[in-house]
Structure 1
Amino acid sequence: MDQIAAAGLAKRAGAPKALSVRNFRIYFTGMAISVPGTWMQMTAQSWLVLQLTNSPVSLAIVTSLQFLPVFVLSLIGGALADRLPRRRLMFVTMSMGCTQATVLGTLCLTGTISIWHIYVLAVTLGIINALDAPLRQSFISELVPVTHLPNAIAMASLAQNLGRIIGPALAGVVIAVLGVGVAYLINALTFGAALVALSMLRSAEFQPRRLPRKQSLLLQVREGLSYARRTPTILFLLIATAFIGLFGQNFSTMVPLISIYLVHADAAAFGVLNSCLGSGSFLAALVMTTRGAPSTRRILLAGAGFGIVLTLISFSSNLTLSAAMFVAVGATAVTFSASVNTLLQLHAPPEMRGRLVSMIGLLIPSPIGPMLTGAAASTFGVAWAVMGNGIMCCVGIGLAYWYLLRHRSNGTSLEYVPVPIPTVPADTSA
């Protein structure tokens, strides 16, 4: 059965529920437990850096060091995700993540933490994420049939954003009462749930997977880049994502800067603002679980809305107003990123999904964005830096729209068009 045609039938019939599939249900449960710990660590790290240094540039350096390995190694991680057993690799990456969190927590609790420790461990986490992110995203296609894929991706986004609500709020309380070190150790414990979930999956129920032909990793990366360049839908998604990732979705830098320098929030209010961002993301992800395959129109509207609201946030110093706008930012950001991820995976050949989703991971978030934001905030002020980011997001969406119109004028449609699915006799040889 043709992969895209099957997805089209799902769109017409209504999105099926991925949680009806045992393997995905177990995987989703493990994610729902583990993800809040990850967001707790991210919140704790931003707070710790500012407490140690009181420097926007230091925060930007840590964020960039964490995402620089993703920028350098993401395409290699995508190639590995296409050619090796994904579940086995995920056991390795999750175990490494657990170790990294444990080391950070121990350094904090013993009072020996220094900024250079955070720098080194940020690079370590970046290397882990460069390998893990393409694995997690492409692994979903092994757990459910393609007709369930839009719903499964939306459910994975739902788990991520539920964690974005719970994690920062819990981090604010834990940091205020028990200290930053405990927040890191709680994250280390939550990795256990994800590892248990992976061990419970039935490999016999995985979706058939066609491996790419044997060649070097660099040739595989080149093949993926060539396919993206020659495929208008993929290139449209990458253009839009490049600007949103570079200028918009560096929340680990912008949220602390906005909280401390514009809103003048304390630790608890900092957690509330992060949770508002997560609440909007969660609501958008929840809505998307009821939708089928996304359209280019949805992606353009979400990207433009994201840039506009981000620009408006730069004018606010009121906690309540900023919190409300963070809800809108979270909603538009998730609608954009989840729609891009879904449309990309529906249009990607199954044997190339790891490499293509790694390109999205390469762009969101960008390791260059935090440095630009930190430098702009130090030079022109936080408000001007945030406003500039919002404007540039809108510029990027405008360029993507121009590309869309150009291909439409040439008679090329970037929209998903359902096609009839031929009847294929069942294989009874097994």
Structure 2
Amino acid sequence: MSTGNGADSAPGHISTSTTRSAGRNPAAPPGGSRGMFSSLKIRNYRLFAMGQAVSNTGTWMQRIAQDWLVLSLTGSASAVGITIALQFLPMMLFGLYGGVLADRLAKRPLLLATQSAMGLTGVALAALTLAGHVQVWHVYLAAFLLGLVTVVDNPARQTFVSEMVGPAQLANAVSLNSANFQSARLVGPALAGVLITAVGSGWAFLLNGLSFAAPLAGLLLMRTNELHPVQPQPRAKGQLREGLRYVAGRPELIWPIVLVGFIGTFGFNFPIWLSAFVEDVFHGDAGTYGLFNTLIAAGSLAGALLAARRGHSRLRLLVAAALVFSALLLVTAFAPGFSLFAALLVPIGIFGLTVNVTANSSVQMATDPEMRGRVMALFMMVFTGGTPIGAPLVGWVTDTYGARIGMAAGGAVSLAAAAVIAVILSRVGNLRLSVSRRGVAFVPSRQTLTTAA
């Protein structure tokens, strides 16, 4: 197995250890069968996907209920931004350490621990809310604790996908993970809107806490002999710095990560913008807020399914999707009526999800298994860890200058970043990632990242 430091590879070449491990799973479709749902043919991944579908629905219910509860308690979009910032602050502070732990520890037992802890945070917040004692600082604390668990859960869950399906199905499985999450985003906000209106936020928190029983059951029922296990890395000094050096020396990793960092920090602040549009522009209620989130989710689900069907990731697609997504934020910010605003949320979801999935799958496929936890931790840290900076800033702009200016400002920053990185990639990104039975390597091309069986 490769050492993961690139010393045994020629410049621009990635170790073939991911390809050699493909033969370990007798349940994997030979050669990586194509099709929108091909990775679901693998039993362990099916169990994982079913469990995640349930818990993701609960997670989206809690997100909507949490945002609405904070807005009800404070009447401030900035307070919503602070809640989001606290949830993602641990990722910014400790995200890389979470990746080191994910590389050191076996993924399945680690996920059993993190998923249990996440369920307990939902139950605790439900108890406070249903008892009528909840205060805004309770929500802040719950968001921060959930963020701490996510520091380890995110890289472990991201990298465990490759252990379930192998390299041949990795791009498809990453896309289906996003489709799974976005499908729940369709159902969760709608259920949350009904529950908040009918019985209050507390029941949404309780159902979220209980929903984690599903992924725990899926993990326990898996057949460990059908996994593609990656040997945990022994504890050693300098592992965090090693991960940073690994990414810094590979343009096929660093530029997609930088791009999603800007988009995640300034372009994915929908809880702030949508709650402000509901309150100040369209004068709606929790049902309107749930509708807006559902429309974005519908577009995101479509984007994820299209990515799963493509089965490949391209730098040109990544950059183009980022440019279109950012431009759509600017246009939507000044949509004159409710119907047009709502309709534009669907393509925003499509292109935003395309950015996320394309960057995620290309980064995972270009990374050695031994380094994948640290690289994906950096990816998630950059993508979500900028939220503690972006969310309060965007919340302040939204409170001070209005919902339209707040959303337009986020779109403008994202658009400028995407344009600059597009120019950089046009000069240094003339590489194509080829994944085949012969190995994984970058070769000169038309700025295209592709995968071939």
Normalised-by-shorter TM-score class: over 0.9
Written as runs of structure 1 = structure 2, the 5 A alignment for 1:13-412 is: 17-216=38-237, 219-316=238-335, 318-365=337-384, 366=386, 367-408=388-429
Q: Confirm or deny: 8 A CA contact 1:78 1:357 kept in the other structure.
A: yes
Shift of 1:360: 1.7
Q: Confirm or deny: 8 A CA contact 1:44 1:171 kept in the other structure.
A: yes
Distance 1:150 1:197, change over 3 A: same
5+ residue gaps, structure 2, are: 1-14, 23-29, 440-453
Percentage of identical aligned residues = 34
Q: Confirm or deny: 8 A CA contact 1:23 1:143 kept in the other structure.
A: yes
Q: Deviations over 1:121-156 (max 9, x none)?
A: 111111011111111111101101210111111111
Q: Deviations over 1:156-206 (max 9, x none)?
A: 111100011100011000110111000100101111111111111111111
In 1, Cα distance between equivalents of 2:169 and 2:326: 31
The SS at the match of 2:212 is: helix
Shift of 1:48: 0.4
In 1, Cα distance between equivalents of 2:231 and 2:427: 34
Shift of 1:407: 1.1
Shift of 1:37: 0.4
Q: Confirm or deny: 8 A CA contact 2:37 2:308 kept in the other structure.
A: no
In 2, Cα distance between equivalents of 1:89 and 1:296: 33
- Tell me the C-alpha RMSD between the 2 structures: 2.0
What TM-score comes out, normalization by structure 2 length? 0.87
Equivalenced residues, count:
415
Partner of 1:2: 16
5+ residue gaps, structure 1, are: 423-430
Q: Deviations over 1:338-378 (max 9, x none)?
A: 11000000000111111111112112222211011011112
In 1, Cα distance between equivalents of 2:167 and 2:241: 26
Instruction: Extract structure 1 runs of 4+ deviating beyond 3 A.
Output: 3-7, 9-16, 210-214, 417-420
Give the AA of the match of 1:107. L
Give the AA of the match of 1:262. V
What TM-score comes out, normalization by structure 1 length? 0.92
Shift of 1:287: 1.5
Q: Confirm or deny: 8 A CA contact 2:18 2:368 kept in the other structure.
A: no
In 2, Cα distance between equivalents of 1:151 and 1:330: 19
More helix by share: 1
In 1, Cα distance between equivalents of 2:101 and 2:80: 31
Q: Confirm or deny: 8 A CA contact 1:15 1:148 kept in the other structure.
A: no
The SS at the match of 2:377 is: helix
Q: Confirm or deny: 8 A CA contact 1:262 1:317 kept in the other structure.
A: no
The SS at the match of 1:210 is: coil
Q: Confirm or deny: 8 A CA contact 1:11 1:293 kept in the other structure.
A: no
